Structure 1
């Protein structure tokens, strides 16, 4: 734990972690809030899955696009614009009862305008700490973000069931604006400028490590999305669903903090995905709340450590000018996974029951383990070296406060 204490004493690190967690907290609420709202309006998990898929497809397009824009127009301008549009789109979903197709269109716009906070902060991190602290910082970040997934589902279920599903979405919207404003105001966003990439958009995908991170992230988040849909359907919007999902995230939080100091080898990602796959496979056997909670806790232990490896392997293998776009593509993979996981789970719930969602989650995780194992040949060996980005051949401008 002393490693993390030293990190948090570094100038600005604690502040930027708290600000970006606050800004991203609504996105731990929105998938579940949209699922509950659309399912209530149209009485169909399949319809809710389609709306979530539309939102996630929009997010998947926005990831590399808005990340690249930050190198052209600056982080603050892009974040202000996307936050405003996303707020309007999500408010429309909450306040108006629309046909499923209309919900999908508005949700797509909301997803397309998702503020690129994650690519921004992970591009800033290498400029805030020493090279030896970067891998532990990625691990701390991946672990800390589990607070979003611990509290987010609980807050969403409580507000949506005790007040209304409209209130559940609007609470997330208010938090998005408040947290985004705090993050945008941080001096670090003015001190670091992302240099304009000289290569065409998508060229970063020629790096095998970025492709591996994108594919495995897609499958990992697809598994998590299927679990979320299955748990909500199993407990019929009850508070139990928030509690079980919180247990899932607590496992991830503990796993991230306990494994953050372990050096990253080419097989680290596959090992962590094996933990996730094993836990989800066990979970699908029996849907008793105690069994399910314990199995999801085990599965969760591998999630934050796997994400930390993904972030580190991208950082260590791309130029600084390409890091934001690379993280945008990784985010796109994760969001497509969320879309597919939600949609597949939704239709399986309608067709064969809640067990289908957990079998789908286990299938995604097993595929993620296989992809990580195959991709180990292209994964960097970071034992004894740092995860800093490859320096650009020209100076990177740093602006004053």
Structure 2
């Protein structure tokens, strides 16, 4: 904890971290808010899954593209335009009555315009701290990120069930606008210039660590999203139990990240951390009792933030600085698609077999992630004793002879 305290004393680190977490908070709320709203409007989790699938298509296309645009037009300009469009699309889903196809079109627009905040801040971090501080910074960020992916659904579930799904979506819009404005106006966003990438779009995915980080992030968030849908379906729209269970899931993740996320990262680190998630979610399948689910999801949560710390560090150390934004764009796309895919798969299983199907889907996502980490262990870099700064960009320099 003392190491994290020193990081937060570094000028600007606390501010930029708080701003980007606020700006990205809607990423953990939107899928579940849309799921609850469309299900309430249409009476079908399957229809809600189709809307989420359309949103995920937009996110898949936009993630690396908008991240790459920041090297061309600058971070502030790209972030401002995408924020305005995304907020308008989500507000339309909340306020305008449409058929399912209409909701899918608007969801696609919302996905296409998702602000690339994660790519921007991951590119800024190496310019704010020393090389020795970067891995602990990624660990701290990974821990606090769980407020997005695990705690945010608690907030949106409570608002949607106790106030209304329209109000829940409008809350997403308000946080999106406020958080992105705070982040965009941060001095660091104006000072750091992302170099224009010299390689064509998608080439960075050819690097094994980037591809592995994208796939593993997809599976990790897919597991979380399926659990969230299963918990909501188990305890219904009117009770507070779902919020309690998801809050304890968040506590487990936050505690795991702060306790273990800073440990040295070797090739087997991802497999070990993903195995913890798999064990907890597998145990959750045996009972839908509120206390059993709470205990097992605390176990599962303990591996989530440490796994994210591995993702961020292995990506940073494997790419050039000019490629970091696009690399994190692909990884962010994987995570966002994972959130939508997990919710969509869980939704169809809830319609077919009940909440048990959603929990089983979550365990399946997690188990597959563990298998990927084991089978492709040689693709994970050994970061023990190394810093996590990106590879410097080099270019020919003219000399006079």
With the length of structure 2 as denominator, give the TM-score of the two structures. 0.96
Which stretches of structure 1, 4 residues or longer, exceed 6 Å deviation after superposition? Answer: none
Task: Look up the match of 2:318.
Answer: 317
Task: Look up the match of 1:398.
Answer: none
Structure 1 CA distance for aligned equivalents of residues 395 and 126 of structure 2: 17
Structure 2 CA distance for aligned equivalents of residues 279 and 241 of structure 1: 17
Residue 149 of structure 1, CA deviation: 4.0
User: Is 1:245 aligned to residue 239 of structure 2?
Assistant: no
Structure 2 CA distance for aligned equivalents of residues 178 and 249 of structure 1: 23
Task: Look up the match of 1:153.
Answer: 153
Task: Look up the match of 1:369.
Answer: 370
The 8 Å contact of residues 277 and 304 in structure 2, kept in 1 or not, is answered as: yes
Task: Look up the match of 1:133.
Answer: 133
Residue 8 of structure 1, CA deviation: 0.3
Structure 1 CA distance for aligned equivalents of residues 333 and 153 of structure 2: 22
Aligned pairs, number = 395
Residue 96 of structure 1, CA deviation: 1.2
Residue 55 of structure 1, CA deviation: 1.4
Structure 2 CA distance for aligned equivalents of residues 29 and 240 of structure 1: 18
Describe the superposition over 1:96-117 as per-residue Cα deviations: whole angstroms up to 9, x where unpaired: 1211111111011101100000
SS of residue in 2 equivalent to 1:97: coil
User: Is 1:284 aligned to residue 285 of structure 2?
Assistant: yes
Residue 80 of structure 1, CA deviation: 0.3
Unpaired runs of 5+ residues, structure 2, are 397-401
The 8 Å contact of residues 54 and 339 in structure 1, kept in 2 or not, is answered as: no
The 8 Å contact of residues 79 and 117 in structure 1, kept in 2 or not, is answered as: yes
SS of residue in 2 equivalent to 1:334: helix
Structure 1 CA distance for aligned equivalents of residues 54 and 346 of structure 2: 15
Describe the superposition over 1:84-138 as per-residue Cα deviations: whole angstroms up to 9, x where unpaired: 0001100100001211111111011101100000010011000100001111101
Structure 1 CA distance for aligned equivalents of residues 251 and 36 of structure 2: 23
With the length of structure 1 as denominator, give the TM-score of the two structures. 0.96
Structure 1 CA distance for aligned equivalents of residues 35 and 217 of structure 2: 22
Residue 150 of structure 1, CA deviation: 4.9
Task: Look up the match of 1:348.
Answer: 349
Task: Look up the match of 2:142.
Answer: 142
Residue 270 of structure 1, CA deviation: 0.6
Task: Look up the match of 1:390.
Answer: 391
Task: Look up the match of 1:52.
Answer: 52
Structure 2 CA distance for aligned equivalents of residues 163 and 323 of structure 1: 41
The 8 Å contact of residues 75 and 120 in structure 1, kept in 2 or not, is answered as: yes
Q: Which range moves more in the overlay, 105-114 or 335-344? A: 335-344
SS of residue in 1 equivalent to 2:376: helix
Residue 394 of structure 1, CA deviation: 4.3
The 8 Å contact of residues 57 and 339 in structure 1, kept in 2 or not, is answered as: no
User: Is 1:9 aligned to residue 26 of structure 2?
Assistant: no
Structure 2 CA distance for aligned equivalents of residues 155 and 334 of structure 1: 20
Task: Look up the match of 1:64.
Answer: 64
Task: Look up the match of 2:165.
Answer: 165
Task: Look up the match of 1:119.
Answer: 119
Task: Look up the match of 2:30.
Answer: 30
User: Is 1:298 aligned to residue 302 of structure 2?
Assistant: no
Structure 2 CA distance for aligned equivalents of residues 284 and 168 of structure 1: 29
